[in-house]
Amino acid sequence: MKAWITTFLLMSLCVSVAEAYPEFQRYSKKVSGRAVNCAMCHKNSDGPEGIKPGQIGSLNDEELKALGVARQAFNPGNHARNPVLNDFGNAILNQLGKKKLMVIRRYPERLAPALSKASDLDGDGIPDAEEFLDGTHPLNPLNGHPWKLFKHNLAKNRFHLVMIILATGLGMYGLQNMLLFLMVRARKEED
Amino acid sequence: MSEQKSRFGQIMNFFAERFPLQKFSFQHMVNEKVVPVHRMSWAYYMGGLTLLFFMIQLVTGICLLFYYQPTVSDAYASVEHITYFVKNGFLIRNLHAWASSCMILSLMVHMITTFAMKAFGRPREITWISGALLLLLTFGFGFTGYLLPWHQIAVNATKVVLQSIEEAGRYLPGALSTIPTYIKEIIQGEPSVGQATLSRFYALHVVILPLLLIGVVGIHLLMVQLHGMSQGVDQPAKKSEKFFPFFILKDFWLWGGVFLLVFVLALCVPFESFSAYPLFEAFDPMGSTPEGIKPEWYFYFVYYPLEILPFWVVMLGMTVAGIGIFFVPWIFKNTSRKVLSIIAWIATAYLVGITLFGHVIYEIVKGTNT
């Protein structure tokens, strides 16, 4: 019995634990000054381990198989879909490959330059690599550096803005004339 | 008997002066009303701006009501639905968020300038008291509305505030010490912040507070029109302009310009972008609490002192200030405008300083570097 328990414990220790990369999380927080959590790259904000949705304990057989494939995606350009990672996490894995990721894990400042400048998964006008440095969520179009979002959205909504300026201006002009008319009529009535 | 009669007469005179029924006519309140023109004239527009923001809140709030679900299971999802799936839902929601902050900002500027200009003096005491009530109601709107999206910061910040209310009981003597706990239980509705709390906050936010606010705004505007604009400065203004149509026309143009500004902000800058994203994840009672839980910026003037100073000092200060604000017309009855301006500047410096640099001050005082 003792031998069985010892073997089981030894085997448990040998099994590789789920690999989150808190180095990147810490770096993003350090350079941005914003609080960041695991949800930047993982499906669940509490990370990959556990039984909540998006965590390893909740995966079905098919997803576990996909997890196994993703863990062997050593080279860039792989199309692995890690079920515990979100789209940004998988984009990092696909662009860099696990081998490179393991290396730059020790130098988290190298992650942003290594990512594609063209990739903007949430379409908010801020590349994912910049969002990583800003400590904002690369998959949430409402979360980004306020000034960068302002510039992007201002350019995107130019037509709407011109229309609202015209509508407000014309409305005010009409109101002005109506008030002046009412004043003149009141004076006439007084006379 | 005669003494009683004279006291009754005094009370009647007091109200007759504050509610001059003979002036209750369109002719007096609109056609004959004039607005003094001087270096502080810009302050006369602040009340109107606050009203504009309230109207934006009312319209956008009604739009949000069509989709929002006030249940702990669906509140977050319904807000997400409004933001991402309802046509222009994001714009409406963001307008609501931006206009709420603008409303509180303009209300505070309005209150401070009114104080500095001594516009609360006889016979405008009721105008001031109704204004102070409006300030409290607006803070009530901010507090109750904050919980409704049911995300991490909403629920956790509400918990912190409710705990602070309960904590106040520790500093009260005897039977009084149980009152804050009762207040907390009444607000919360159940042992922890949950469905009962959300239902109560929702009812307050969308029915009770708007009705109260509309009523008090009505009284406030009636008083402003009955008594006209206060002189505002020591030397009587050399120039004045007619309220109708010239002042009101300028007011409307200002409304147009400010509305455009808020619209551009709402269209281009999500209000949530100023805070860390983990704060806006769905509230998970079993999950970890994200760091950075804070109330909205307009509560920083209480929040940071609570973090830095002993609890009883802040509570005592805020209670005195909270009650004192209603007695301003009598406390500062004989104070000159110069002294009032100095007090107003000090209050402004405190509010701006603690709002912008509260976190830095907190770090310096606590010796941390988070």
The vertex-B316 CA angle with B310 and B318, nearest 5°, equals: 105
Across the range B223-229, mean pLDDT stands at: 91
pTM for this predicted structure: 0.89
Closest residue in B to A149 (Cα–Cα): B269
A82 and A123 both lie in a single domain: yes
In a domain, A151, yes or no: no
| Domain annotation covers residue A3 | no
**Do A102 and A33 fall within a single domain?**
yes
pLDDT grade, residue B20 (50/70/90)?
confident
**Do A170 and A136 belong together in one domain?**
no
Same domain, A123 and A164: no
Per-residue pLDDT, A3: 55
Q: Are residues A116 and A174 in the same domain?
A: no
Please give the Cα distance from B227 to B229 (Å, whole number). Answer: 7
Arithmetic mean of pLDDT, A142-169: 95
pLDDT higher at A77 or B218: B218
Q: Quick one: A130 and A177 in the same domain? A: no
Q: What is the DSSP secondary structure assignment for residue B245, as one 8-state letter?
A: I
Report the relative pairing of strands B34-37 and B239-242 from DSSP bridges: antiparallel
Does A150 sit within 8 Å of B270, measured CB to CB?
no
* Residues of chain A with C-beta less than 8 angstroms from the C-beta of B83: 142
Give the pLDDT score at A19: 54
Split at pLDDT 50, 70, 90, the class of B317 is: very high
A31 and A121 in a common domain = yes
The domain locations on chain B are 38-366
Number of domains observed in the structure of chain A: 2
pLDDT in tens, B342-351: 999 999 999 9
Overall average pLDDT of the B34-47 stretch: 93
Same-domain check for residues A85 and A163: no
pLDDT at A2 over 70: no
Q: Please name the residue that has the structure tokens 């929601």.
A: B93
Beta strands (DSSP E) in chain B are 34-37, 239-242
Set of chain A residues whose Cβ sits within 8 Å of the Cβ of B253: 172, 176
**pLDDT in the model for residue A14:** 39
Nearest to B325 by CA among B38, B114, B13: B114
Domain B38-366 fold is: Cytochrome Bc1 Complex; Chain C (1.20.810)
d(CA A11, CA B174): 62
Task: Choose among A44, A70, A45, A72: nearest CA to A58.
Answer: A44
Q: Is B34 helix (H, G, I), strand (E, B) or coil?
A: strand
Using CA atoms, how far apart are residues B209 and B137, in angstroms rounded to an integer? 7
Tell me which of B26-30, B281-285, B298-302 is least confident.
B26-30
- CA geometry: angle at A91 spanning A87 and A92, to 5°? 125
Nearest beta carbon to residue A35 from set B31, B256, B291: B291
Contact B276 A153 (CB under 8 A): no
For residue A186, the model assigns a pLDDT of: 82
Give A18's DSSP letter.
Answer: P
What is the predicted pLDDT for the residue at A5? 58
Average of per-residue pLDDT across B322-329:
95
Alpha carbons A172 and A88: distance in angstroms, whole number: 47
Please work out, in degrees rounded to the nearest 5, the angle formed at the alpha carbon of residue B253 by the alpha carbons of B251 and B257.
115
CA distance A74 to chain B (A): 30
Answer whether residue A47 shows pLDDT above 60. Answer: yes
- Judged by CB atoms closer than 8 Å, whether chains meet at A161 and B252 is answered as no
Q: Please check whether residues A134 and A161 belong to one and the same domain.
A: no
Q: Identify whether residues A112 and A185 lie together within a single domain.
A: no
Q: Do residues A114 and A177 both lie within one domain? A: no
DSSP three-state, residue A42? strand
Q: Is the pLDDT of residue A132 over 90?
A: yes
Rounded CA separation B137/B217 (Å):
11
Judged by a CB distance cut-off of 8 A, whether residue A185 touches chain B is no
Q: Find tokens 């933001």 and name the residue.
A: B83
Cα distance between residue B258 and residue B293, in whole Å: 31
Is residue A185 situated within a structural domain? yes
- Reply yes or no on whether the pLDDT at B148 is more than 90: yes
Residues spanned by the domain of A178: 157-190
Return phi, psi of residue B322, to 5°: -65, -40
State whether ipTM is beyond 0.95: no
Instruction: Establish if A8 belongs to a structural domain.
Output: no
Residue A11 has pLDDT above 90, yes or no: no
Per residue in B119-143, pLDDT tens?
999 899 999 999 999 999 999 999 9
Closest chain B residue by Cα to residue A32: B276
Following DSSP, what letter does each residue of B206-236 receive, concatenated? IIIHHHHHHHHHHHHHHHHHHH-----SSSP
Residue A122 has pLDDT above 70, yes or no: yes
User: Looking at the domain assignment, is residue A12 inside a domain?
Assistant: no
- Residue at A122 is within a domain: yes
